[in-house]
Amino acid sequence: MTIKVGDSLPEATFMVPTADGPAPRTTADIFAGKKVALFAVPGAFTPTCSARHLPSYKEKASELAAKGVDAIACLSVNDAFVMGAWAKDQGVTDDIIMLADGSGNFAKAIGLEMDASKFGMGVRSQRFSLVADNGVVTHLFVEAPAEYKVSGAEYMLEHI
């Protein structure tokens, strides 16, 4: 079943890239007591994700903060090393938390996984974004397959 507005995010443990190597962070670590904008991409370094999706949140971070967003997190079914390399490539600093959902457990738990095997990528996350306030989903924007219309920061800013 797909997560919906009003649902609590499930418990999960992500790996995040740090200067000391990958470190675990739980759903509670990321979302408890905060309003978080989370966006998910099918894969780090993929064309749309690198050219438009991640840059939109990087560019609009201060506008999201002005709307009460305490943190921005980027989720991908990649490992923490890939997420760290992608963050470095994209010039991401502490303004966006890079969440590695290496086995896709979180994407599956919220019902937003997709099978990208025909592209040689295996199970990945669908492209989506959401806002969670203290771990409860207040806004959810899920893309249709192969689209990028509703999950970018610009769209989120218009609808929160």
pTM equals: 0.93
E-only strand ranges, 32-107: 35-41, 71-76, 97-100
pLDDT at 19 over 70: yes
The structural domains of the chain, ordered by start, are 13-159 (3.40.30.10)
pLDDT at 66: 97
pLDDT category of residue 55 using cuts at 50, 70 and 90: very high
**133 strand-pairing partners:** 35, 136
Is 49 considered catalytic here?
yes
**35 strand-pairing partners:** 133
pLDDT at 122: 56
* Catalytic residue selected from 9, 16, 30, 49: 49
Fill in the DSSP letter of residue 8: B
pLDDT at 119 over 80: no
User: Which strand (E) or helix (H) includes residue 114?
Assistant: strand 113-115
